[in-house]
Amino acid sequence: MKSEFQMIEWPRKALFDHIPLDVIVIDRDFTIVEANKQAQKNYPDWRNKHCYELFYGRKKRCVECAAVKTFEDGKTRTENSEIKGEDGITRYYKIHVSAYRDKDGNIPYVMEMANDITDRVNIEREYRLLFDNVPCYISVIDKDFKVVDSNDLFKQTFSRKGTQYCYQMYKEREKVCTQCPAVKSFKTGERNTSIQVGVDKSGKKTHYVVTAAPLVANGESVDRVIEMSLDISEVIQLQEKLEQAEREKIEVERFAAVGQTVAGLAHGIKNILMGLEGGMYVVNSGISRNDNDLVTSGWKMLQNNITKISTVVKEYLQFARGTEIQVEMANPAAIAKEVFDLYRDLAEQAGISLTLEVPDRVEDASLDPQGIHTCLANLISNAIDACEFSDKTRKKVSLSCREDNGTIVYEVKDNGTGMDYEVKQKIFSNFFTTKASGQGTGLGLLVTRRVVFEHGGEVSFDSVLRRGTVFKIELPRDRLPKIKSADPKDSKGDHNA
Amino acid sequence: MLEKINKTVLVVDDEPDVRLYLKTVLENAGFDVSIAGNGKEALDRMTEKKPDVISLDLVMPKMSGLKFYKYIQKNKDRAGIPVVVVTAHARDEFGKGDLDKIMAAKSEGGTMVVVEKPIEPVNYVNAIRRVLGMDEIVSEETSEKDVLRVKLREKMKTADRKTLEDALKILEKGPSDQGPDG
């Protein structure tokens, strides 16, 4: 028995007609008995059609049908539906089904409201496509750090069986990482970025920059964070290779310096041996000539050369000892001050004014303070000697330390004798001294150069005969040796950001 | 010590030890010796007394051997003095250039010999004698043998056949139990 479906009250009728959804009413036969304005507009020939016929072009009712169930139990339900239009484009609907009861409690009609969600579905699809295909690892985590969603790349790289927390996946850890940017994001509701080292499924070390961003709008407490990570392993590898190449270059330079020093040493020792043999010859001659003065002269010659060889050997041992320089954080200006204090009295006694120029502040640097001390002492000692040989009335030596574009620069300047062309050519090239016999070994500048090379730096000089000399040590900070830490072991996954 | 040779050698070297050593060697060989520690001093010594030969160190601070040599070549009288160049750097970057230059600067008809350090007394003395046009001497051991050889040669000129045959037999038997050199 069919009762007539009627829209009685006006407000309801108006709502029915103007709601921006397709609304139809079907009877138990699935015939459409009423349609609102929008449905009539979208489906002009709706009248007396079965719903499955009108919407899906079917001859029989759908297998899965929410209306069937609602006719049975009267409950309101929702179902999703896809409808392929005549233009071939699929549209997506969310359909609400509710029962119409008559006075006796029977359900002769059911109302279906179809909400067109095609745009939303398409946007979601695009978003998912982006999510899965963006060349980043993306995971969404909850407050327990459980991964509640992740993209394909993340799954392919980090998802292991039985893992559900981000720290398990990214780093094979059993608890939250110490330098976790997501922890901060949960706390502050702000975005945080850091560099991390993780381990992928295959056990390979992976470097990545991770950005953690809260997934809720401003003001609300954060219960989801999205982690987006960019793999920078290749960049890190390149950087490591570059650093390695730089280290090797410094090593080669160091060996070259050592080689030159050894050649120089051989030459120096040859000279001393000649002195010893000569001394013996002179002593023998003095004895056979019965010439006491000649014996004395020869003996002095022997003594000189014995003193010389002892000095050379001691200096060389000191020089050879430091194959490993002792690097620590030290203040470059403080070292200059120490050397200055050490030589001030000596210079004063020799009638030389020794001055020190250091800026108020120079940052600490990783270097071998003892080695740099030796270098500066050598240069100052040379400068004082150069002044002593000069016949100027105002003798000056100055030591300065400054920072110049990331390079630590020491300068030792004197107004002493200066050097002529030949001396300039020889000071670094070999065992060479212009000092009186027995006073100089010719090792000072070699030691200086070696130490400076070991610091990745350079020694240069500028000298004008009778005007004076400037020696310059330049130590670029980015080439300075690294401090060897006591325990370089890096606990797995924990990496300073 | 050999007989006195009436020749003066000017030894120019910046190292006092080397000066003393070379002076002693030359005195033992019978030369008169004057010494100078650098080019300037050497010029003074030459003014005092013109040497017959100059022993010249190449590498010296202030005035190098090369500069000194070039300087004295400007004076006709001094340019003819034979020179023995003493250097420890004949083969290294240190002295090679200077050595080549001094060889190139040698005047035509000038006399020059290079002696490398370390200095062997006999070699050094012979180099000096060579630039002076004198016979070279030989070391003591060889010289003793040489004296015997000369004596033997003299005797052989006048010896009879029998003596020569005996001498040949002795020589063919090889070294005697007690070596001739003792």
Q: Which of B20, B25, B94 sits opposite A301 (nearest CB)?
A: B20
Amino acid A313: pLDDT? 77
Band of pLDDT at residue A492, cut at 50, 70 and 90: very low
Above 90 in pLDDT, residue A312? no
Q: Which helix (H) or strand (E) holds A253?
A: helix A233-289
ipTM above 0.85, yes or no: no
pLDDT, average across residues A2-24: 78
Tell me if domain A4-122 and domain A134-231 are identical in fold: yes
Q: What is the pLDDT of residues B78-107, one digit of tens each?
A: 888 999 998 876 665 556 677 778 777 776
Structure tokens at A399: 């030591």
Check CB contact under 8 Å for A430 and B117: no
Is the Cβ of B17 closer than 8 Å to some Cβ of chain A? Answer: yes
pLDDT, average across residues A314-328: 70
Name the CATH superfamily housing domain A324-497.
Histidine kinase-like ATPase, C-terminal domain (3.30.565.10)
- Give which of A336, A477, A469, A451 is closest to A400, Cα–Cα: A336
Who's near A467: CB < 8 A, 6+ residues apart?
A415, A418
Structure tokens at A413: 């300047």
Q: What is the pLDDT of residues B101-135, one digit of tens each?
A: 877 777 666 788 888 877 889 999 999 999 998 88
Q: What is the pLDDT of residues A5-14, one digit of tens each?
A: 666 677 788 8
Is pLDDT larger for residue A416 or for residue A86?
A416
Q: Which of A251-265, A366-380, A433-447 is the least confident region?
A: A433-447
Q: Which of A31-40, A102-111, A339-348, A421-430 is the least confident region?
A: A421-430
Amino acid A495: pLDDT? 42
Is the Cβ of B29 closer than 8 Å to some Cβ of chain A? Answer: no
Structure tokens at A364: 């600490």
Burial (CB < 10 A; 0-12, 13-18, 19+), residue A329, is exposed
pLDDT, average across residues A129-150: 91
Amino acid A243: pLDDT? 82
Amino acid A491: pLDDT? 41
Report the distance separating Cα A141 and Cα A170, nearest Å. 12
Band of pLDDT at residue B146, cut at 50, 70 and 90: low
pLDDT above 90 as % of chain A: 43
pLDDT, average across residues A163-190: 89
Report the distance separating Cα B99 and Cα B65, nearest Å. 9
To the nearest whole Å, the CA of B20 is away from the closest chain A CA by 8
User: Fold for domain A243-322?
Assistant: Helix Hairpins (1.10.287)
Q: Which helix (H) or strand (E) holds A395?
A: strand A395-404
Who's near A15: CB < 8 A, 6+ residues apart?
none
For chain B, the first-to-last Cα distance in angstroms comes to: 22
Which residues from chain B sit within 8 angstroms of residue A304, using beta carbons? 17
Q: What is the pLDDT of residues A212-266, one digit of tens each?
A: 999 876 567 788 999 999 999 999 899 889 888 877 877 777 677 667 667 667 7
Strand, coil or helix: A105 = coil
To the nearest whole Å, the CA of A291 is away from the closest chain B CA by 11
Report the distance separating Cα A388 and Cα A377, nearest Å. 16
Above 60 in pLDDT, residue A113? yes
Q: Which of A357-371, A383-397, A429-443 is the least confident region?
A: A429-443
Above 90 in pLDDT, residue A421? no
pLDDT, average across residues B24-47: 92
Amino acid B181: pLDDT? 47
Who's near A303: CB < 8 A, 6+ residues apart?
none
Amino acid A144: pLDDT? 92
Band of pLDDT at residue B160, cut at 50, 70 and 90: confident
Is pLDDT larger for residue A319 or for residue A19?
A19
Report the distance separating Cα A439 and Cα A382, nearest Å. 12
CA distances from B49 to A94, A121, B97, B128 (A): 126, 116, 31, 18
Which residues from chain B sit within 8 angstroms of residue A270, using beta carbons? 88, 117-118
Is the Cβ of A307 closer than 8 Å to some Cβ of chain B? Answer: no
Amino acid B179: pLDDT? 45
Report the distance separating Cα A378 and Cα A385, nearest Å. 11
Check CB contact under 8 Å for B1 and A294: no
Percent helix, strand, coil in chain A (nearest 5)? 45, 25, 35
pLDDT, average across residues B143-167: 78
Question: What is the number of other CB atoms lying within 10 angstroms of the CB of residue A64?
Answer: 8
Report the distance separating Cα B51 and Cα A91, nearest Å. 120
Average pLDDT, chain A: 85
By residue count, chain B amounts to 182
| A198 φ, ψ (degrees, to nearest 5) | -120, 180
Is the Cβ of B77 closer than 8 Å to some Cβ of chain A? Answer: no
Band of pLDDT at residue A494, cut at 50, 70 and 90: very low
| Sign, Cα dihedral of A446, A452, A455, A458 | negative
User: Fold for domain A4-122?
Assistant: Beta-Lactamase (3.30.450)
Report the distance separating Cα A324 and Cα A339, nearest Å. 22
Strand, coil or helix: A225 = strand
pLDDT, average across residues A98-104: 90
pLDDT, average across residues A269-285: 88
| A311 φ, ψ (degrees, to nearest 5) | -65, -45
Sheet holding A32-35, edge to edge: A32-35, A22-27, A109-116, A90-100, A77-84
Domain ranges of chain A: 4-122, 134-231, 243-322, 324-497
Strand, coil or helix: A12 = helix
Candidate CATH numbers 3.30.450.20, 3.30.70.1400, 1.20.1530.20, 2.40.50.140; the one for domain A134-231:
3.30.450.20
Q: Which of A294, A304, A426 sits opposite B24 (nearest CB)?
A: A294
Which residues from chain B sit within 8 angstroms of residue A278, using beta carbons? 17-18, 20-21, 119
Q: Which of A267, A297, A429 sits opposite B20 (nearest CB)?
A: A297
Structure tokens at B78: 């001094």
Report the distance separating Cα A326 and Cα A373, nearest Å. 12
By residue count, chain A amounts to 497
Amino acid B33: pLDDT? 96
Q: What is the pLDDT of residues A352-364, one digit of tens each?
A: 999 999 988 889 9
Is pLDDT larger for residue A492 or for residue B176?
B176
Interface probe, candidates A271, A273, A287, chain B, greatest B C-beta count within 10 A: A271
B171 sits in the region (left: phi over 0; alpha: psi -120 to 50; else beta) called alpha
Report the distance separating Cα A163 and Cα A141, nearest Å. 13
Say how many CB pairs under 8 Å bridge A and B: 61
